[in-house]
Amino acid sequence: MSEHQGRIILVTGASRGIGYATAKRLAAEGAQVIAVARTQGGLEDLDDEIRSAGGQCTLVPMDLKDSDSIDRLGAALNERFGRLDGLLMNAGQLGAITPFPHTTPKDWDSVIAVNLTANYRLIRAMDPLLRASDAGRVVAVTSSVAQSHRAYWGAYAVSKAGLEAMANIYAEETEITKVRVNIYDPGGTRTAMRAKAVPGEDPSVLPEPSAHWDNLSMMLGAGYNKTRQLVKFAR
């Protein structure tokens, strides 16, 4: 029996890229996937693939900038399941690759809202459900720019640095519980976001989103007892 059989795992950014590939595989491994994304069409495609393979999926079309919706989702999951076994905080927004002074307030607010504030609200809403699990697992997807502080990556780099800090703080706060909180850096991957960030790059040299399954499966599994770890994808 798969380690994920019967586990309830919430995946954000599930309509494409790493989130889509991971949600599909989790469902194939027997998890009840809660798939969250803004793009209805992508979620419906995911649902079709999962159900045609005999898996289970609950679609949640949601703009993560709507914090009240996150609270409502937490309440709904509590009423339906009473627990949450895994939370993959994968959704992200790139924003403009531009000098810091050229970053518009609108772009800054949007990137911080999606990449940082929404994940705080997810942790806040899902914490009681994760603690109710016999092995609650949280994985925050980061980027190398969170630590390299690369020029022109402004709001995105700041948001990911904040996400890493938040995940590490939450990991310490839950260290004596059954919740484990870790960070995953996928590196360059063949996704729409990567194409936007590095438009001149040959996508064929990059790994597919599905290449991250082994690491994410491990980190979301009940048997992964490490916490406050940064796992980097090794090509």
120 is catalytic: no
Domain ranges of the chain: 8-232
**Residue 211, burial from CB neighbour count under 10 angstroms (0-12, 13-18, 19+):** middle
What span, in angstroms and rounded, lies between the C-alpha atoms of 176 and 190? 38
pLDDT tens sequence across 97-155: 999 999 999 999 999 999 999 999 999 999 999 999 999 999 999 999 999 999 999 99
Question: What does R_g of the chain's alpha carbons equal in angstroms?
Answer: 17
Q: Is the pLDDT of residue 81 over 80?
A: yes
Structure token pair of residue 185? 């850096």
CATH of domain 8-232: 3.40.50.720
How would residue 1 be classed by pLDDT, with cut points 50, 70 and 90?
Answer: low
Q: Is the pLDDT of residue 200 over 90?
A: no
DSSP output for 94-162 = ----S-GGG--HHHHHHHHIIIIIHHHHHHHHHHHHHHHSSS-EEEEE--THHHH--TT-HHHHHHHHH
Catalytic residue among 20, 156, 170, 184: 156
pLDDT tens sequence across 215-227: 999 999 999 999 9
